[in-house]
Amino acid sequence: MNLIIDVGNSYVKLAVFKGIDIEYKTTVELNRILKELQAIKKEFKLIEHAIISSVGKLKKSDLSAISKYFDIIILDANIKVPFKNLYKTPKTLGVDRIALVCASRINYSNNNVLIIDAGTCITYDFINNKNEYLGGAISPGIRVRYKSLNNLTANLPLLETEMPKNIVGESTEESIHSGVIHGVLNEIDGVIESYKMNYLDLTVILTGGDGKFLSKQLKSSIFANPNFLLEGLNFILQYNSN
């Protein structure tokens, strides 16, 4: 069994894999990670290896304690990966993007794959059917767009995410929802179509915190997978534990 620890700014995603199947998954506040890991260790006694992503957000004392519980691998830009990385600045490539590309190798190893992670940022990562990672793009996510309109203007309110009923906003709030959500949807559909012009056999994966919200609204054909990052981290752990 493998333990996946994906550390965010305030929360930590934890998952236990048996082979390629998720046996357990939870999200806890960062300050509760040790308590939750103790419970996981007690329940899943067959965990052999663990991987930590975004380790810089952990306290040194927490990392030291986790190291006593499990045989851990820390994900960084130097880790061994099952693809050729042609990114011009590989040391700056986010570990989450590395994990997402690795996840694409599980079921789509001979495909051209575009992975879209809709979270705080929207990241686009492309790997071709020659197993070459070429790069992608980064743009502001949904919440960043709402917050930017509020922070950088004098009179626009900060709104909660909401699917607009109409493309024509009949009030300031409706206009903000239309601009943000339709802007994101048109961006994603446009990026997908641009890739399809060059790669006809393109497979598109949508994941991330806003993936479910966006998936039913996109015009393009996609595979929505909320666990894609966790699957990629598990793949990396297996690949580096053999």
Identify whether 242 is part of a domain.
Answer: no
Residue 90 sits in the same domain as residue 61: no
Residue 134 sits in the same domain as residue 35: no
Q: Which of 42-46, 54-58, 173-177 has the lowest mean pLDDT?
A: 54-58
Query: How far is the C-alpha of 39 from the C-alpha of 188, rounded, in Å?
Result: 40
The predicted pLDDT at position 90 comes to 92
Q: Which of 57-61, 154-158, 202-206, 223-227 has the lowest mean pLDDT?
A: 57-61
Q: Which of 21, 56, 74 is the last residue of a domain?
A: 74
Q: Is residue 120 a known part of a binding site?
A: yes
Residue 39 sits in the same domain as residue 91: no
Identify whether 239 is part of a domain.
Answer: no
Q: Is the dihedral of CA 116, 143, 53, 46 positive or negative?
A: negative
Q: Is residue 7 a known part of a binding site?
A: yes
Residue 58 sits in the same domain as residue 10: yes
Sequence length of the chain is: 242
As given in the structure block, the two tokens for residue 219 are 């015009």
Query: How far is the C-alpha of 208 from the C-alpha of 143, rounded, in Å?
Result: 13
In what helix (H) or strand (E) does residue 223 lie, and over which residues does it extend?
A: strand 223-224
Radius of gyration of the chain from its Cα atoms, rounded to whole angstroms: 19
Residue 47 has pLDDT above 70, yes or no: yes
Q: What percent of the chain has pLDDT over 70?
A: 99
The predicted pLDDT at position 68 comes to 86
Q: Is residue 135 a known part of a binding site?
A: no
> Mean pLDDT, to the nearest integer, of 90-95?
92
Q: Is residue 87 a known part of a binding site?
A: yes
As given in the structure block, the two tokens for residue 51 are 């991987």
Q: Which of 16-30, 66-80, 110-124, 146-160 has the lowest mean pLDDT?
A: 66-80
Residue 175 sits in the same domain as residue 140: yes
Is 96 a residue of the active site? yes
Residues in contact with 196: Cβ distance below 8 Å, sequence separation at least 6, in sequence order: 202
Q: Which of 74, 94, 117 is the last residue of a domain?
A: 74
Identify whether 241 is part of a domain.
Answer: no
Identify whether 25 is part of a domain.
Answer: yes
Identify whether 130 is part of a domain.
Answer: yes
The predicted pLDDT at position 65 comes to 86
Residue 39 has pLDDT above 70, yes or no: yes
The pTM score is 0.92
Residue 100 has pLDDT above 90, yes or no: yes
The predicted pLDDT at position 56 comes to 63
Residue 162 sits in the same domain as residue 111: yes
Q: Which of 40, 55, 74 is the last residue of a domain?
A: 74
Q: Is residue 32 a known part of a binding site?
A: no
Residue 140 sits in the same domain as residue 215: yes
Counting the structural domains of the chain, the total is 2
Residue 140 sits in the same domain as residue 61: no
Residue 26 sits in the same domain as residue 105: no
| Mean model confidence pLDDT for the chain | 93
Burial of 202 (0-12, 13-18, 19+ CB in 10 A): buried
pLDDT in tens, 101-152: 999 998 898 899 999 999 999 999 999 999 999 999 999 999 999 999 999 9
**Residue 102: domain span:** 84-233
* Catalytic position from the list 62, 96, 125, 210: 96
Identify whether 240 is part of a domain.
Answer: no
- Find the CATH number of the domain harbouring 26: 3.30.420.40
Q: Is residue 141 a known part of a binding site?
A: no
Residue 200 sits in the same domain as residue 114: yes
Residue 55 has pLDDT above 60, yes or no: no
